[in-house]
Structure 1
């Protein structure tokens, strides 16, 4: 096949009556077969073509993760046009920039609230012909059209047959170093390669059930969408974050991908609950956790597990781990983690519980998937070996370079930035890493985010941040600072959903602003910092920390939509707090 629409067409022919998608409907779930997906995509694609979508044009999707996102994307691609993704959290000005820069002539918006953002900047988008709203009302002037009214007739197959593998399929905008977002151009072949590579490692099959909540505006979510079409795996789609726990128990999926923040949240909720209960439950949990981690470490080394340890693990599984797996429906075979570094401590806890997280790595510029740990050779702390067909090289300065069919065509309209990032076909990732004896990649840090203290020592902040979060279940985010400073410090934020029950049991304030100043709260954080410091070189240790009264968020700009911390923004927003750490000469 030469395109994603032809891939879908082949899937429909191969397994027309198999379940393709499951989606929320009323108080339950409804399903579509692959044949029914085709019946929804075909008229929508022809309707979009009648509105001007065609080869070389772009259509933006401004919508959360839901069935209509997938169907619309597949319909857009079938016209020969490319999908431009916009996060629902983007401001009106950010939406206008992406729409104008991409040259989108149509936008599919989720609801009237998203339409209102576009209406507020309508005069700034002269080439935007129509907004098609999923859940909303038409405008009197015809500019806004309900999506369910978009339909057409014509030669659908001829339209699909005309698409070439080198044609643009997706424009995904990522933040640039100057603050201007860059549109990453990904072709049909980029995505087809990524799907083929995942299929070749034989990780999942048609008997699995995939639960998808990740933003489809992000390359990770898009990759999963194409992979499931290629392999024929049914996908349950629901992008509501507050429904993840409930959906896992109800759907009982076998496979789910997530950002590390989700796994941290699960771990911290469980750990905080047993801490609060205390007594025998806490002692049993801590014993089971350490037993599981011991078994996980032995598995990673390929070492034999002694009989006594196997017996202890069986008891730990009955008392603790089996109950934890039941929370996720009891059928999870693997979790996949990507988009940010996963703490090794968190990974080993889950693995010990029989909920293995396979950490992977890729950039939007490499079609999201370039490396992935394999179930039979997991090494936590690494992102695994390259996927089949992906090449890797480590530059003299330690930067990871990626080659192969997954590498982007370039940045949209930015030839100089493209030339600086693509070096003779090799993608400069901006990440520092090394390969182990089995060819697995270890990412040590972002090239531009490594801290260099005033003493000339390099520190990898994300590693330390992950360790501290794993050591204290009440924390949402940790931010290690120290570039061009004489020692490292940290800002931490509280996860109030997790910490509030503990605070109530301890008779402490339930407001973050008051709780952060309480000695008991500082004591808990200090204990975690001390625990991690004992494992670090002296120049890496965190000498001081501050607990903030508010969490980092996408809305306030400290987090990306994929929940990664924007380091420069945090430094700007909390500069006074950071500067205050270094005013006391006694801390030097």
Structure 2
């Protein structure tokens, strides 16, 4: 290894299973508000105590036993993020069964693949559409015996079915669950082929959750007298959302669920739930920033917002350098300007998130340094981290008190990060999985004497902070032999407000080009701000002023790379890449091969020109 860095663990290993915390919380803190839930988007949030949640979990676990679910059985969950998913997770863990998450947007073939490979004996779906998806492939699923639908009251029915099952049977099966028992099978996003099922144990989750709580728990609320609370907006089919759920239950954090991520629905939910901290992917933070900027410009305060953003970034950079032991921090002039914009801008921005958020956790993909600086300067520090399904979420994160924006931080407690000679990031720690289901060859390729070869390229700086530069499999090699990791260049193009997505192309080509999609809301605002008639993206593709604007974004991105690595030509596309088209993974990562195939004619036109 070229360089290696470790962080000692902060929490001892937990011996039992994930469900144990539900019963322990009810015993030790029965009145603790463990969840807040609501029956519809406009309804008020109703508290659920630790005792009430324990009783619901126990009742559902008994019902699952009554319907034939046994220790070690695999049960698929296909739903958006909602309270009932968490309820099923802990009921299944209470009897030693294994939940298998399935994205609600998954196509029938993906569903068939996952349920067939896991030999799922039952499937929980959210609605009739999901039930029909399962029904379309159930002939190829000989092990599937039950389909339960949340919107048809399956929780109530199962609980009633289990009324006669003794509680002792649940507790006996729960006692048989140990740290090495498989807790779930989570499938990778499958950017380069069929998804693979990661076997994650109860010990993987407890080690990750307990060390994160020990290392970052102090920033989840304002003080010991305020209960930490967070609104779960991440998909529970993803390991990141699952880890937030587990950490909240183990840490006594009040948890709410939000299924609809439309801009207004998200802001309404944040305002009513009032979380103390938030977790999201960069896309959400980008949209929050864009919404604030557009609102300011629409109100004729665009210049004020731009100046406030600049001061926020300067302030956060000064604080960052002081935290890293460099520089004297914020000067008197900067403090006065920051105080003025605190009243004019930052306070109002925090109010849109409920008013109590002071820290946020970001993962899933790379967050731009400028965006991290802006939110920190506005009073909401983003702690960016990095992880994989195979590492049970975060394996690195920016430490409390000394974040370095634009990096994914240092190893989380108990983890080690190393850089291989070819630049690949290797990791090890208690969160690293044991292998892929039914794929011993892939397991052998990924795991080496306790080390996981992540497939990501990165570097450790002089302070031990990790930066991710791309994926090994995504390296572009031009026909002249020049190597390029496209992710960083794509991120720089996407920094422009008008750009939604960017895919860099150039493998075995004479030079580098790009496919660029427009952000629909930002494009509409751009037209209105110039007092132009609003037209759709199809009509605007030939607009010279629009092309000149995007050309400036490309030129700015090119300044960070050599001429051989720079984007020489680009193609504007009328619509964004979507999950439904099969061009994005459910976690919104680009499916590069699928996009290249879909837009093959556009790519060829770039090189013929």
**Shorter-chain TM-score category?**
over 0.9
- Post-superposition shift, 1:176? 4.4
1:50 to 66, 91, 104: 66
- Post-superposition shift, 1:411? 0.4
Answer whether contact 1:508 1:515 (CA < 8 A) is retained.
no
- Post-superposition shift, 1:136? 2.4
Answer whether contact 1:66 1:237 (CA < 8 A) is retained.
yes
2:92 maps to what in 1? 76
Cα deviation digits, residues 565-585 of structure 1 (max 9, x gap): 11121111112212221223x
- Post-superposition shift, 1:178? 5.9
2:369 to 344, 354, 360: 344
Q: Give the Cα–Cα distance (whole angstroms) in 2 for the partners of residues 539 and 8 of structure 1.
A: 57
2:171 maps to what in 1? 157
Q: Greater CA deviation, 499-508 or 162-171?
A: 499-508
Q: How do 1:171-570 and structure 2 match up within 5 A?
A: 171-176=185-190, 179-203=193-217, 204=220, 207-242=227-262, 243-275=265-297, 281-302=301-322, 303=327, 304-470=329-495, 472-505=496-529, 506-570=531-595
Q: Residue 409 and residue 150 in structure 1: after superposition, are their counterparts in 2 closer, same or farther (change >3 A)?
A: farther
Q: Give the Cα–Cα distance (whole angstroms) in 2 for the partners of residues 275 and 468 of structure 1.
A: 22
- Post-superposition shift, 1:398? 1.1
Cα deviation digits, residues 497-552 of structure 1 (max 9, x gap): 23223324532443121123322322221222223323433233222211111111
- Post-superposition shift, 1:148? 5.5
Q: Give the Cα–Cα distance (whole angstroms) in 1 for the partners of residues 343 and 403 of structure 2.
A: 24
Q: Give the Cα–Cα distance (whole angstroms) in 2 for the partners of residues 287 and 185 of structure 1.
A: 49
Q: Give the Cα–Cα distance (whole angstroms) in 1 for the partners of residues 258 and 248 of structure 2.
A: 16
Q: Which runs of 5+ in 1 are unaligned?
A: 139-143
- Post-superposition shift, 1:167? 0.8
Q: Give the Cα–Cα distance (whole angstroms) in 1 for the partners of residues 291 and 572 of structure 2.
A: 19
Cα deviation digits, residues 444-484 of structure 1 (max 9, x gap): 111111223333333232222222222x2122112222223
1:141 maps to what in 2? none
Q: Greater CA deviation, 518-527 or 146-155?
A: 146-155
Aligned partner of residue 470 in structure 2, secondary structure: strand
Structure 2 residue 13 is the aligned partner of structure 1 residue 9: no
Q: Give the Cα–Cα distance (whole angstroms) in 2 for the partners of residues 146 and 173 of structure 1.
A: 29
Q: Give the Cα–Cα distance (whole angstroms) in 2 for the partners of residues 480 and 356 of structure 1.
A: 31
Q: Give the Cα–Cα distance (whole angstroms) in 2 for the partners of residues 539 and 293 of structure 1.
A: 31
Q: Give the Cα–Cα distance (whole angstroms) in 1 for the partners of residues 405 and 458 of structure 2.
A: 15
Answer whether contact 1:509 1:515 (CA < 8 A) is retained.
no
1:24 maps to what in 2? 38
Structure 1 runs (4+) deviating above 6 angstroms are none
Q: TM-score, normalised by structure 2?
A: 0.91
Q: Greater CA deviation, 531-540 or 235-244?
A: 531-540
How many residues are aligned here?
576
Q: Which runs of 5+ in 2 are unaligned?
A: 1-14
Q: TM-score, normalised by structure 1?
A: 0.94
Provide the aligned C-alpha RMSD in A. 1.9
Q: Give the Cα–Cα distance (whole angstroms) in 2 for the partners of residues 328 and 177 of structure 1.
A: 33
- Post-superposition shift, 1:146? 5.2
Aligned partner of residue 200 in structure 1, secondary structure: helix
Answer whether contact 2:71 2:173 (CA < 8 A) is retained.
no
Higher relative contact order (CA 8 A, sep 6+): 2
- Post-superposition shift, 1:254? 1.2
Q: Give the Cα–Cα distance (whole angstroms) in 1 for the partners of residues 310 and 189 of structure 2.
A: 40
Cα deviation digits, residues 71-103 of structure 1 (max 9, x gap): 011101111111101011012222122111101
Aligned partner of residue 201 in structure 1, secondary structure: helix
2:75 maps to what in 1? 59
Q: Greater CA deviation, 558-567 or 62-71?
A: 558-567
- Post-superposition shift, 1:345? 2.1
Answer whether contact 2:59 2:159 (CA < 8 A) is retained.
no
Aligned partner of residue 58 in structure 2, secondary structure: helix
- Post-superposition shift, 1:226? 0.7
Answer whether contact 2:512 2:566 (CA < 8 A) is retained.
yes
Q: Give the Cα–Cα distance (whole angstroms) in 1 for the partners of residues 304 and 525 of structure 2.
A: 21
- Post-superposition shift, 1:175? 4.0
Answer whether contact 2:45 2:273 (CA < 8 A) is retained.
no
Q: Residue 316 and residue 524 in structure 1: after superposition, are their counterparts in 2 closer, same or farther (change >3 A)?
A: same
